[in-house]
Amino acid sequence: MQIMFSKSEIEKYFMAEKSAAMWLMIFAGVLFIAVLVIWIIQKNEISKGMFFPFLLFLILAFASGYGAYKKSDGIRKSVIYAFDMNPSKLQHEELPRLQKLGKRISRLMIAEIILLISGGVLLFLYYKNGTPVLFGLGTGLIIVALIALLFNYPSYLRTERYLEGIKLMVQH
């Protein structure tokens, strides 16, 4: 199957990435409110266990969302220019960047699956007769891992489609 690759495909990719980054930052803001509620209002052991995975995730989500949002337009302009004026730049700069990004997202998803499993183990071990803080930690890890996977999997698919398009462009 041959895919047509054009400037509009480049635009779509970067607009989708920028939009996902914006939603990630918005989600981090909402999660910040949830963390405050957990810390201030819910003063039980389970909530204390959930606090740290939520806090860590919101910091990482906002930082990565902001970074992607900020870089997106510059990279998009550079790639569009290279598409028209310097196609070899696509091969020497954009292709390696995308391959590196795909590997990084894959590693993140593996780490998220490990967190999901770890959270499940904590949840199972401490459900009835355990430490409520560890039960809360397990619950928090599961929630955070699922949310992270929900953001990263579509990003991985977009990156893979875009990478295939760049590979086609470079071959011709």
* Residue range 100-150, pLDDT digits in tens: 999 999 999 999 999 999 999 999 988 877 788 899 899 999 999 999 999
Count of domains for the chain? 1
For the chain of 172 residues, list the mean pLDDT of each consecutive stretch of 10: 73 94 92 83 82 89 93 93 87 92 95 95 86 90 94 94 88 73
15-19 contacts: CB < 8 A, separation 24 or more?
16/158, 17/68, 17/72, 17/155, 17/158, 18/68, 18/69, 18/72, 18/73
Domain that holds residue 46: 7-171
Note the pLDDT of residue 4.
63
pTM score? 0.83
Greatest CA separation for the chain: 66
Has residue 75 been placed in a domain?
yes
Has residue 119 been placed in a domain?
yes
Has residue 1 been placed in a domain?
no
Has residue 28 been placed in a domain?
yes
CA 13 to chain centre: 15
Has residue 155 been placed in a domain?
yes
